């Protein structure tokens, strides 16, 4: 049968001492390492979650900034286009004004040339009419007065003949 003697008591005491030593030497340091690793993993996980949240916020901010930048760029583009259209219209209007002034100057010069030509023609038309009359009639007839209406009629007939010819 089983005997309970001092040996059993020494075995139990030595087993308890062995367990305490094993706990002090192996289990506590191992548990400490496991706890430190768990804290390290949890802190890294929390940092990763925070970084993920920051990254999502940064992505949202970036998308928002891109959208705002596009809107600003569109506004600036439309403003620049409007300014250049206004400048273009102003320049065209300016050039039209200058052209109109130039055209009025040219018209005035042409009117002066026309008036001078009519005056010279008026001076010489009497001589030409006398020469033609003397050729056809055979004697010399002096034509002295030719009015401006006669010169205008002659010129309009000549212009019509040139346009038709």
Q: Tens digits of per-residue pLDDT, 123-154?
A: 777 677 777 767 776 666 566 666 667 666 76
Q: How many CB atoms lie within 10 A of CB 97?
A: 10
How many domains, in total, are found in the chain?
1
With respect to residue 8, please indicate whether it lies within any of the assigned structural domains: no
Give the domain extent around 64: 13-164
**Mean pLDDT taken over the chain:** 86
CA distances 67 to 37, 57, 76, 151, Å, are 44, 15, 14, 78
With respect to residue 5, please indicate whether it lies within any of the assigned structural domains: no
pLDDT of residue 120: 80
Q: Is the pLDDT of residue 41 over 80?
A: yes
pLDDT category of residue 84 using cuts at 50, 70 and 90: very high
pLDDT in tens, 46-78: 999 999 999 999 999 999 999 999 999 999 999
Q: Do the Cβ atoms of 127 and 151 come closer than 8 Å?
A: no
pLDDT category of residue 157 using cuts at 50, 70 and 90: low
With respect to residue 4, please indicate whether it lies within any of the assigned structural domains: no
Please tell me the pTM assigned to this model.
0.42
Q: Is the pLDDT of residue 164 over 80?
A: no
Residue 108 sits at the vertex; the CA angle it makes with 148 and 158, to the nearest 5 degrees, is 40
pLDDT of residue 123: 73
């Amino acid at each position: 049968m089983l005997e309970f003697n001092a040996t059993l008591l020494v075995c139990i005491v030595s087993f308890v001492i062995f367990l305490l030593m094993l706990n002090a030497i192996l289990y506590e340091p191992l548990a400490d390492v496991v706890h430190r690793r768990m804290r390290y993993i949890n802190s890294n996980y929390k940092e990763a979650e925070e970084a993920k949240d920051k990254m999502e916020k940064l992505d949202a901010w970036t998308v928002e900034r891109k959208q705002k930048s596009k809107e600003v760029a569109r506004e600036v583009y439309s403003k620049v286009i409007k300014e250049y259209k206004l400048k273009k219209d102003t320049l065209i209007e300016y050039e039209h004004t200058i052209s109109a002034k130039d055209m009025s100057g040219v018209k005035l010069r042409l009117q002066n040339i026309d008036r001078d030509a009519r005056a010279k023609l008026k001076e010489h038309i009497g001589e030409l009419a006398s020469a033609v009359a003397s050729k056809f009639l055979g004697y010399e007839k002096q034509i002295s007065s030719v009015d401006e209406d006669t010169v205008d009629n002659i010129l309009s007939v000549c212009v019509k003949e040139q346009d038709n010819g």
